[in-house]
Structure 1
Amino acid sequence: MQSVVTFEKPIPHLSLPDWDARLYGLQVTADTRRADAFDLRHSAHQLRNETRIKTDWDSYHNNNRLSARIYEIEQWKSTIEDLLTRIDREMNLLKEEKASTERELEQLNMPLLVCSECLSNRDGKRSTELTYDMADMELKKELCVTEANKKLLIDRCQSTWEKINRLESVKFKLQLDLNDKTEALTIDKNMLSLDKDCANITYKTDSLKTPKRMITGEQWLQKVEANRQMAQDELQDTLRLRESLFVARERARNTLRAQTDVTNYMLRRRIYETQRARNELDWQKMKMEENMDKLATELKVMGEQFADKVNALKLAETRLETRGYRPGIELASDEADLGLKEEVRNLRETIRQLQEKLDCGKSTYNALEDASIKIAIDLADKNQSLEVDTRALEMRAALEPKKLKGTDKNLVLASMKDEVPKITEC
């Protein structure tokens, strides 16, 4: 009979070997878990170090890339700003050249007006003085030269206007490019200033997407190079155009000045020739009037002689007629009868000769008078021609350039007039 009652759990009990085996299994499991934990910590530490180093180097390289990109864009921005400054300067200079050319073009109106007035006035000459002389030919040539200069300057002004429009277009494109680069610089600088501790960084949806307008770096470089080359080509062409404007103005001015000098010389030469012809006609007219006076005196004397011979003939014929009434044998052919008949014949021949000479003298006097009238008319025409040519030469005095002296002349000859600052009086 038991004094103590014992109770056992109604579950299977382990034997000691099973218990030892279970303990050994727990030990092995713990060692394995610790080894796994150690390996995990080691690999995690290594991964942390590698990812930190990679992230730092990636951030460093990208920061350097951003800095290089910012530097590159700043260089291109400086280049574009320099090009814009040069374009503005060239546009201002080109506009000044265009304004100078337009002023030169306006100044051609005076030579055209003067040349036209000279041709119109010279066309008012009378009779034989209305000739195609060298002065008339040079005036027409000057008109053609002035028209050619005007057309040349108009073409140059048109080319300048077109070039200014092209420069405006290039300036607009460069300004857009400059604005884009300024905005890109602002974005890249802001991105360069960000770090992982900034408050305004967030996750972005589909951050690896490629925008539709994105181009490659080579394409970007080609575009900016093309813009720079386009601007440089336009600037070079603008320089040539400005030089051509200056050359066109000087050439037109020199050509017109040379033609003006030739025309003035021909007008002065024509005036000299007309004056010489007028003086010759004055002398001829004076000699003609002297001869007419002498011939008139001679005609008067011949007329008196003719009248005297007529009276003498009347006397001789009266004597012959009266002696024909002698009576009887007294009507004889004596010496007196023969002498009177010879006298009548001589007087008749003398009267005939005097009459012929008088007729010839009168016709000569009439011819002299007609020639004198023609000379007087031609002399009046030449005086009127002289007045016309002299007035034309006086009208052309407006085309003569103002004569400069001293420093002003040297500045104009050296084309340095615009370089010297103007002195303003206080």
Structure 2
Amino acid sequence: MAKFVSTYQKPLPHISLPDWYAKQWMLRRSADIRRVEACQLRNSGKSIRSERDVTTKWDTYRNNARLIDRVTESSRWKDTLTDLLQKLLIEICMLRDEKADTEKEIENIDLPLRIISECISIRNCRRGTELTYDEADVELKKELCAIANVKESFTNKAQAAWEKLNHLEDVKFKLSTDIEDKNETIRIDRENLEMNDTCVNMSYKPRTLTTEKTDSITYETWLDRCQRLQMLADKELSDSYTFREAMRVMKECARNDIKAQQDATDYTLRKRIYQTQKARNEMEWQKLKVQKEMEMLGKEITELEKSLMNKTKVVKRVETRLENRAFRLGSELCTDEVELGLKNEVLQLKQTKEDLIQIIEHAKASYNNLESLLIRIDKNLDDKQHSLNTDVMCLDTRSVLKTEDKSSLLNETNRNIVLTHMEKEIPLES
């Protein structure tokens, strides 16, 4: 090479040709290895992708099926509890109406109590021997006690009904709350069931697996709660129905008992009126007999006094005869049969006079006794008439307790007169 020819060369070390071939082999070797690895990775990726697609599809299907089953189960429980809630609402309304009817019965009982107390007060105004503990008095007090006991029973039942309503309201609140929760749960599950990959409002929720709610419960606990709530509602409905029927039966029995006692009391009052009227008639008959006897005894006393007056004149005449014969003279002043007869007559007249005076005194005493008896009879008649008026007034006062029309008569007094067959003794009002 000529001296003037120049060459240029990088200032780097050069390799030899064998090294160059060696490097080419190594690169080819590395390329083959990486291609094999890439092919394996690609095949593995396809396999994993297919498996995961299938797994994801089946997981989504299973979870959708689970959501459908869960929605169906929740809907079934919601329908069951909703039906129980409707029955509970109906039962609450019926129990509230029964309670209001019981309270109305309590208010209505005040009228019979007032009337019976008034009747007892009226009958306590009887006078003298007519103020007795008779059957009517006993029946009135029994009726008063019976109605007071019924009022107390009604009051206790109304209080128990109020407590039962509170229990039902509590169960109603629990059912309503549970139904609202189930409606919200069904809405959420249906939204999740309708969700797909193209839905909006989707984002990563990084803490869904790591964060759990403290009030979360298991499925078994949830199912047990639903069953216990259903059993509670059924039990409360059954208890409320039994309690309401018991209230209705109690009211009917109380009405029947009160009506029976009222009839018994009215019967004893009518019976007492009949007995009083009969006794009054007897006393009037006795009064007539006493008055007649007094009249006859008065006439007899007058006759006895006349007889006594006549005997006094006869005594004067006989004694005058004896006095005149005492002035006879001499031997003519003797005790002859005439003198003996006159003396005997004087003695007989004096004895007769004494007997008449004694009889007159006894007759006057008897007349006074009859007069006192007549006064007692008049007072007794007045008491019996007052007692009769009192019992009739009681019946008239109790007439407001009878709501049904039992007779075409104008009032209860006339009806009682007819029932006791006393039309001739107590004339009906015109």
Name the TM-score, length of structure 1 as normaliser.
0.90
Deviation at 1:329, TM superposition (A): 2.5
Aligned to 1:415: none
Alignment of 1:16-165 (within 5 A): 16=18, 18-165=19-166
Give the corresponding residue for 2:198: 197
RMSD: 2.1
Deviation, 1:339, is 1.4
Deviations, residues 202-241 of structure 1 (Å, cap 9, x unaligned): 1113110211121111111122222222222111111011
Structure 1, unaligned runs of 5 or more: 406-426
1:333 alignment counterpart = 335
Cα-to-partner distance string for 1:311-343 (whole Å, 9 max, x where unaligned)? 101111111122212233332212221111011
The correspondence for 1:210, drawn from 196, 209, 212, is 212
**In structure 2, what is the equivalent of residue 409 of structure 1?**
none
1:21 to partner: Cα distance? 4.2
* Aligned equivalents of 1:203, 1:83: Cα separation in 2: 41
**Match in the other structure for 2:247:** 245
Q: Amino acid of the residue matched to residue 283 of structure 1?
A: W
Match of 2:298 in 1: 296
Residue 283 of structure 1 and its aligned partner are, at CA, apart by 1.0
Letter of the aligned partner of 2:270 in structure 1?
R
Among 397, 400, 412, the residue aligned to 1:398: 400
SS of match in other structure, 1:108: helix
Amino acid aligned to 1:240: T
Q: 130-139 or 226-235: which moved more?
A: 226-235
- 2:318 is matched with 316
Corresponding residue for residue 168 of structure 1: 169
Give 3-state SS (helix, strand or coil) of 2:196's partner.
Answer: coil
TM-score, normalised to structure 2, is: 0.89
After superposition, the C-alpha distances for 1:372-392 in whole angstroms (9 at most, x for unaligned) are 111111111111110001111
1:274 and 2:276 are equivalent in the alignment: yes
SS at match of 2:349: helix
Residues in 2 aligned to 1:44 and 1:403: alpha-carbon distance in whole angstroms: 101
Deviation of residue 127 (structure 1)?
0.5
- Return the letter of the residue paired with 1:38: C
Query: Cα distance, 1:5 vs. partner?
Result: 6.8
Identical amino acids, percent of aligned pairs: 41
Taking the aligned partners of 2:261 and 2:306, their CA distance within structure 1 comes to 66
Give the secondary-structure state (helix, strand or coil) at the position aligned to 1:326. Answer: coil
Q: Shift of the alpha carbon at 1:122?
A: 0.3
- 2:57 partner SS: helix
2:41 counterpart letter in structure 1:
L
Counterpart amino acid of residue 170 in structure 1: V
Which of 350, 354, 371 in structure 2 is aligned with 1:352?
A: 354
Note the C-alpha offset of 1:7. 6.1
1:28: how far off?
A: 2.7
Q: Which moved more, 1:239-248 or 1:170-179?
A: 170-179
Which of 335, 341, 344 lines up with 1:342 in the alignment?
A: 344
Partner of 2:309 in structure 1?
A: 307
- The 1-side partners of 2:262 and 2:370 are apart by 43
Q: CA deviation at 1:293?
A: 1.1
The verdict on how the C-alpha distance between 1:176 and 1:404 changes in structure 2, with shifts beyond 3 A counting, is: farther
Structure 2 letter corresponding to 1:190:
E
User: Aligned partners of 1:11 and 1:364: how far apart in 2?
Assistant: 184
SS, match of residue 41 in structure 2: helix
Distance 2:128 2:200 in 1: 105
Q: What is the total number of aligned residue pairs between the two structures?
A: 404
Amino acid at match of 2:102: T
Q: Which amino acid aligns with 2:145?
A: C
The letter for the 2-side match of 1:144 is C
Distance 1:199 1:104 in 2: 65
Distance 1:62 1:301 in 2: 135
SS in 1 for 2:205: coil
Structure-2 separation of matches of 1:370 and 1:382: 18
Q: Secondary structure at the match of 1:318?
A: helix
Q: What is the distance in 2 between the residues matched to 1:200 and 1:371?
A: 115
**What is the deviation of 1:159?**
0.6
The offset of 1:2, in angstroms, is 7.3
Tell me which amino acid in the other structure corresponds to 2:242: R
Quote how far apart the aligned CAs of 1:11 are.
4.2
